[in-house]
Amino acid sequence: MSTIIKSFSVGNGDMFYIKHGSSNFSIIDCDINEDDKENIVHEINSQRKGKEITRFISTHPDEDHLHGLKYLDEKIDILNFYCVENNAVEDNPTEDFDHYCELRDGNHHYYVEAGCSRKWMNKNDVNDGKNYGSSGINFIWPVTANDDYKDALIQAENGVAFNNISPIFTYEQKNGIKAMWMGDLEQDFTEKIKDEVKWPRVDILFAPHHGRSSGKVPSDILKKIDPKIIIIGEALSKELDYYNGYNTLKQNTAKDIVFECDEDRVHVYISSNSYSYDTSFLENDNKKNNEYGNYIGSLGVGD
């Protein structure tokens, strides 16, 4: 069964889902506006139909990563809320920030850190002869004993800044795609912690901090992870780093981006009817436009 990774075009924010080939469905962050909330929730409910478990992974509690969280929870009933353990506060919290805190501190949270393991997340579960599989999600940061990370937690607890409590994690399909998320980690912080992280090679990197220069992944890390495509988010063009020397897809122009992961091939679709940037790094597998969008090419992945 193919895996679907979707990066929603939500403006200056982040929202993704992974429709796993197993019994899992994962949502990463949330930025739902009034105009699109019904369509997004309808799509999520349609795509997760038949899945045994749905998890929500929150990278950090900035508004552009949790806007609409309360509405989403009311519609899908979030029973597995993943985040780093933190005591972040806001002087003037929004309804969604308060709801983040309720989920973070409630009965259905799971606190993530480097190397954590959990049934369904990265451990198979066989019950009554049925193999439910795992999601293939692995966290490689935070290392909770790290002093720089402790400082980031203190900043969050004082309501100063939240970006650098973001975890780093990957989704990996056996013999297939490997993708990485880094939340809104800032470049200077990533530089400090780079030797604490075991950096794997990846096929797709979702550029941290929406692709801003302030979140650019340092060049020595890029050499280690060697991404085949970097997805640059929807920050203002003047704020972006375009990762020269790497293949990129720019969500400002591509809009919704979908990766249909079929073993060692990944087929790429966008919702835009036109895309003016170079896609010659993608191969033509003669796929047709479909429910996922307009086909722009395919990528070989895996070992």
| Residue 12 near residue 234 (C-beta atoms within 8 A) | yes
Question: What number is the average pLDDT over the span 181-189?
Answer: 98
Question: What number is the average pLDDT over the span 272-294?
Answer: 96
Q: What percent of the chain has pLDDT over 90?
A: 90
Q: What is the pTM of this model?
A: 0.96
What is the pLDDT, as a whole number, of residue 131?
62
Reading the block at residue 120, the tokens are 């369904």
What is the pLDDT, as a whole number, of residue 117?
95
Q: Report which secondary-structure segment, H or E, holds 71.
A: helix 69-76
What is the pLDDT, as a whole number, of residue 126?
66
Q: Which is more confident, 2 or 39?
A: 39
User: Do you find a cis peptide bond into 142, omega within 30 degrees of 0?
Assistant: yes
- The residue ranges of every structural domain in the chain are 3-300
Given pLDDT bands bounded at 50, 70 and 90, which one contains residue 123? confident
Q: What percent of the chain has pLDDT over 70?
A: 97
What is the pLDDT, as a whole number, of residue 125?
72
Q: Report which secondary-structure segment, H or E, holds 72.
A: helix 69-76
Question: What number is the average pLDDT over the span 109-120?
Answer: 96
Nearest in space to 185 (alpha carbons), one of 173, 175, 172, 194? 194
- CATH class of the region 3-300: alpha beta
User: What b/e sequence results for 107-121 when a residue is b if at least 16 CB atoms lie within 10 Å of its CB, and e otherwise?
Assistant: eebeebbbebebebb
Q: Is the dihedral of CA 46, 51, 57, 61 positive or negative?
A: positive
Q: Is the pLDDT of residue 279 over 80?
A: yes
| Residue 263 near residue 21 (C-beta atoms within 8 A) | no
